[in-house]
Copies of this chain bind each other. A is one copy, B any other.
């Protein structure tokens, strides 16, 4: 299994919209076992994404999916992303899902 824990920084006032775009773009991705989007309670511009994938390769392939490309385009087009914070690659335990 392959996982990612990443922090995104939204532009002011756009965190909720960015979170929705991420969730919408994360539907029906082959090999994706979890894609949890969570707003950081201490930083009003930050949100965290916890991803779990059956494999690194399936995550890599997902970046070309139309819904993912559309979400990236929307986020960029609407200027929703101010930057990226910490990012950790992980190995999730299968029986913790």
Binding site for B on A (CB under 8 A): 3, 5, 19-20, 22-23, 26, 34-42, 47-48, 50, 52, 86, 88-93, 95-97
Contacts and interface: CB of A to CB of B under 8 A. Distances in A.
Contacts of A36: 3, 34, 36, 50, 52, 92-93, 96-97
A54 to B, nearest CB: 14
Contacts of A35: 96
Query: Which applies to chain A's interface (DSSP): helix, strand, loop or mixed?
Result: strand
A39 B91 contact: yes
A90 B5 contact: no
Q: Which 6 interchain pairs have the tightest Cβ spacing?
A: A38-B90, A38-B92, A50-B50, A37-B96, A41-B89, A39-B91
A34 B50 CA distance: 11
